[in-house]
């Protein structure tokens, strides 16, 4: 399988990282607090905005917006500093994380809010709490009480929603078809050796053009492959190729 192309340009990303071999990496309260300290640190050191996050025993999710091309640098500090601290505290040696963090660039505003809800509901969905307000180590918690970590979300868009409305909205589960879209992201292609982000969804081309042939041509011009269009349409590659060339 071809290695996923990564971009480092300014934008909004859904970040996920997990403990090696699915091991627990957050056990005691001080573990969670150390990670929160590091989240706060990167907001200042790298001028990033944390819109939403949750820290769970075996992994974390973070919705982060970068204003410079420095996502890799910010995440490197977050992950390596926590791993070094945790290994020293626990007297362990070796990798703490399964590997480099996973990053998923967002499409649009709708995608943004779906990912926010997905992140905030994670502890509830995993059965760690029975009430979404009970999980201490997530962005919602910082809206519910005053702590030294409140500034982590000082510029978050979740603050634009009144708290009562926000909680009511979070308590409504995501539909399955939306969950299936959470980890999808804009297409990243190479053009003349440079990475290009195609933010338009494949479905958008077929909604925009009544003529399938025109939709296929437009999607092709934006870097989508015939095989991707064939899967989307539920037809063969040969059919898509023939239609485009007819």
Give 183-240 pLDDT, tens digit per residue: 998 888 877 777 778 878 888 899 999 888 899 999 998 889 899 999 999 999 998 9
Encoded tokens for 237: 């590659």
pLDDT above 60: residue 2:
no
Reduced to 3 states (helix: H, G, I; strand: E, B; else coil), residue 49 is strand
pLDDT above 50: residue 76:
yes
Q: Which is nearest to 156 in space by CA: 12, 50, 41? A: 50
Q: Average of pLDDT values for 75-91?
A: 96
Q: What is the pLDDT of residues 25-46, one digit of tens each?
A: 999 999 999 999 999 999 999 9
Angle, to 10 degrees, between the axis of helix 237-245 and the axis of helix 212-221? 100
pLDDT at 5: 65
Q: What is the pLDDT of residues 128-171, one digit of tens each?
A: 999 999 999 999 999 999 999 999 999 999 999 999 999 999 99
Question: Is there a contact between 174 and 117 (Cβ–Cβ < 8 Å)?
Answer: yes
Going by pLDDT thresholds of 50, 70 and 90, the confidence category of residue 3 is low
Q: Which is nearest to 168 in space by CA: 137, 217, 132, 197? A: 132
* Domains of the chain by start residue, with CATH: 11-179 (3.30.70.1290), 200-245 (no CATH)
């Amino acid at each position: 399988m071809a290695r996923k192309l990564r971009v480092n340009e300014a934008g909004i990303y859904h970040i996920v990282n997990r403990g090696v071999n699915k091991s627990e990496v957050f056990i005691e309260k001080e573990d969670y607090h150390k990670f929160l300290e590091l989240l706060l640190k990167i907001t200042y050191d790298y001028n990033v905005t944390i819109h939403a996050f949750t820290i769970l025993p075996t992994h974390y999710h973070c919705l982060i917006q970068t204003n410079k091309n420095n996502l890799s640098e910010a995440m490197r500090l977050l992950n390596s500093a926590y791993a070094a601290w945790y290994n020293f505290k626990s007297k362990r040696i070796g990798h703490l994380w399964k590997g480099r963090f996973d990053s998923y660039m967002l499409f649009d505003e709708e995608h943004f809010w779906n990912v926010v809800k997905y992140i905030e509901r994670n502890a509830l969905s995993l059965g760690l709490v029975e009430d979404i307000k009970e999980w201490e180590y997530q962005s919602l918690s910082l809206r519910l009480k005053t702590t030294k970590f409140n500034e982590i979300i000082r510029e978050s868009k979740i603050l634009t929603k009144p708290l009562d409305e926000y909680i009511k909205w979070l308590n409504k589960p995501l539909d399955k078809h939306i969950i299936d879209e959470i980890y999808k992201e804009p297409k990243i292609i190479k053009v003349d050796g440079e990475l290009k982000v195609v933010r338009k969804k494949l479905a958008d081309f077929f909604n925009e053009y009544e003529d399938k042939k025109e939709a296929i041509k437009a999607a092709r011009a934006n870097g989508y492959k015939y095989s991707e269009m064939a899967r989307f349409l539920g037809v063969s590659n040969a059919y898509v190729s023939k239609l485009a060339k007819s």
